Amino acid sequence: MKNIKDLKIAICSDHAGYELKRKIIEYLKEKDPSKLQDFGTFSPESSDYPDVAHPMAQELENGLFDFGIAICGSGNGISMTVNKHQGIRAALCWKPELAELARLHNNANVISLPARFINTEEAFEMLDIFFRTDFEGGRHERRVNKISC
């Protein structure tokens, strides 16, 4: 089990996820991760999720962060974008069980959240579960190793 104080976390959102992202940043700052970086967007004005998702994914892929959080209206577009990077395994989560399974079985390193379909408390619960759950390995490791092209 990981201690959030030891984690380096990257976060990004488009305009639809901006408000949820702000709340998540406040929540995470209270937990004091070793590093927390916001890759934008920095306002609720219309923006394109790839413009923030690619830089975040690249830095995660380069090993500068342990985990990423990607947020857009449905969670789909931003998840598809970060998953274009070979070292990223993003999982779209809208309930706690999915966040846990994303880590246990898929070794996900990015949680994608659908801002228009979850509330703040649900997001916090999923993040807590995602960050504290370790990859189970075993039979799942073989499968995860086959994900990258």
Task: Return the active site residues.
Answer: 105
Give strand pairing partners of 70.
12, 112
Burial 17-36 (b: 16+ CB within 10 A, else e): bbebbeebbeebeebebeeb
| Residues contacting residue 130 through CB under 8 Å, at least 6 positions apart | 67, 93, 99, 100, 102, 103, 108, 111
**Is residue 130 classed as helix, strand or coil in its secondary structure?**
helix
Give strand pairing partners of 36.
9
Give strand pairing partners of 68.
10, 110
